[in-house]
Structure formats: C-alpha cells, structure tokens
Amino acid sequence: MLTTNNLGMLAQYKYVTTSSMPEQIKIEQIDYNENSTVVSMSCVSQEGKTWMNIDDGTFAQTADGKRYPMTNSINLPINTEAEYRQMEFNHAGQKHHFALVFAPMPKGEKFDIIENEDKYEGLNIHDIAVDTAQYCDKINIDEFIRDYPIKETGRFIKDNVDVSYIKSNGITLTTCVQAKKQYGKYYIVSMNLINQTGKSVLLNMDNITAEGDVTDEYGNTKAVQLQVLDSKTYDKVVKKKQNWNNFWVTVGEQMLVADAVYSSADYSGRTESYNGAAAYLAQEKADDNVKAYANKQAQRREKINAGYIKNNTVKDGIEYSGFFNIKYKKVDQLRIRFMINGEPFSFTY
C-alpha cells in the first residue's frame, strides 16, 4: 500500500544506477514531486546519429508491473503518429540536456523507462535505482537546459498536403510545396515565418535556393539547381500570361494555402515539447493560466500576409506569410534552403 510518505514527500537524488541504458545517455538527477517524477538526462550525439526524439507512448514501469505514463518532455521533441518531430544535432559529440516528466511514482522504488522495446536505439533504461541516503537540491529545469537549445524539425498533414517546419533560435519557419500550372508550371512554396528572436531578421529572396535530384536512364543521380523566381520576375511572367484581375484571384487562392500553413505553424508553436518554464510550471502547479497566457501572447503577434514574397525586414514578434515559385523540373527529390539570421533552414520534399 502506498502512503503519502511514498508519494507526497519531495525528494531529489543525483546518485543513480541502472542495469542497462543507451551508451550515449546519462541520468543526471531524479526529482520526486507531488504531481510528477522528473528524470533529467544528458546525452552525447554519436557518429552517424543526426537526430533524436521521444515517442509519445513512453512510460515508466515499476517492478510490480504498474505503468506511469510520460506526461511531458522538456527540451526533446515528442513524436506522435499525427506529427513527426525530432531535434537535429549539428555534429557528432554534441552534448544535450533534456528531461522526461512522468506521473508521480513511489519514491525509491526501482523502475524502467520504456520508449519502445522493439525500436532500434529506443530510449529504454532498465532497473533505475536511486541512493535514497543522499539527497540533493531540487533541479532548476530552465538552468539545466539553458545552454542546450535545439533545432526542432517536424512534418504533419494539412488537407492532404505535407507541411514541414523548423524551429531554431527563436525562428519558426513552416513550408509546404505543390506543383501547379499557373502562368507555366512551377513548384509553389507557401511559407510562414514567425520571428521571436528579440530582434529584426532579414528575409532575402537571394538567400533562398532550390535544387533537385535527377536520375538519368543509366541510374546515375545528380543534383541540379532550380530557379527561384523573385517578385519582379514573377510580375513579368504574370503580365505576359494573364491580366491582373485574374492575377489577384490566383493570389487569393494561394493565400488560402499560406493561411493554412500559418494556422498550422501557430498550432505547432504552442506545443510544449521544449518550453522548460511553461511545461514544468504547468506540470507542477496545474496552472491553466500558463497555457492561457501563452495563447494570449500568440494572438497578440502581428500577422502580415504578403502575397508573393518580397525582400523584407521582419521585426520581432511579427508573423510573415506568403508564397513564391520555383521553376518546375521533374526531380526525384526537391530541396529548398533558406538562410535567415545567418542560419540555414533546409527542407526536403
């Protein structure tokens, strides 16, 4: 029988042992709280391993077989059936900090963490035990993850169209691509940029490039550069092909797609996979005001629907959405690269 002494008392431990765990993972601390058990970990990326995430079905299990579901992940994206999400490492040997939050477990009992026993290189840790004679201070989640920002990438489906996004250093960039015949045949890229860097960033069409893989009849594949149309080139094409009234109809239709990308990006932006303060407070205090405040802040952001993308300084707190065209060529794989604030944002379709 579990008592309040087992579950209610706050206790934190740094001296942790296991019988088996992935070699790149280390448990730094376990915090037993009234409303949760928080397992804080570090990892070092391995050669050839460029990404990491955690499945939403991950759970902890004590020796009696009782399961305690993972309720949150801090600084590590949660992968679901509906939305594929992961973080990307910049290089082998990169260190990272994250924490998994579980339903409250009995203090001091051995337990396992199971992501997926059948998953290759899944985060499965067995016989986790703490030395209950050696206490430590409660972990400060924000300090623990502060120096370990992540680049999160993800993909989901909106009205039968694949939508991809990248979040990094205060910028969220979301795109989707459709091949259409409009004044010629083009890949039409709808995009949404959310700037939360604390400063202005430049969206420059010269810093958007595209390439595709083409395979010849002998099975040889090579990358070819594709033309990204700036707004002036696009306007010239429109003037040759159609009158301006029809042009605005086309812009309106494409902006519906851009708006869909925008709304999806906004939804993704409110998930809590790596928002340390909000996620931890929401978990520990069950404070709905935390989420309400985050949603209110999202609603306050100024939104600019630009139509066809032009060079623009996007100020902090602005959401900028629109579309641009890439000259069509049949390719096996399409890659689009944005350079924003000195950082590459690369999408593959």
pLDDT of 73 over the 70 cut: yes
**pLDDT tens-digit series, residues 276-310:** 445 555 445 444 444 554 555 555 468 888 889 99
The tens digit of pLDDT for each residue in 214-268 reads 988 888 889 999 999 999 988 887 776 655 445 444 545 555 555 555 554 444 4
Give the span between the Cα atoms of 25 and 96, in whole angstroms.
Answer: 10
Mean pLDDT score, 154-164: 88
Q: Using pLDDT thresholds of 50, 70 and 90, give the confidence band for residue 4.
A: very low
pLDDT at position 294: 52
- Of 53-57, 89-93, 217-221, 256-260, minimum mean pLDDT range: 256-260
Contact 321, 308 (CB under 8 A): no
For the whole model, what pTM was predicted?
Answer: 0.74
CA dihedral angle for residue 294, residue 295, residue 299, residue 302, rounded to 10 degrees: 30
Give the CA distances from residue 2 to residues 31, 105, 107, 264, 277, in Å, rounded to whole numbers and listed in that order. 18, 10, 10, 43, 30
Supply the mean pLDDT for the chain.
Answer: 83
The three-state DSSP-derived secondary structure of 189-241 is: EEEEEEECCCCCEEECHHHEEEEEEEECCCCCEEEEEECECCHHHHHHHHHHH
Report how far residue 105's alpha carbon sits from residue 2's, in angstroms, rounded to the nearest whole number. Answer: 10
Listed by start position, the domains of the chain span 4-145, 151-348
| pLDDT of 306 | 85
Q: Report the candidate in 338, 345, 324, 329 with the shortest Cα–Cα distance to residue 190.
A: 324
Q: Is the pLDDT of residue 138 over 70?
A: yes
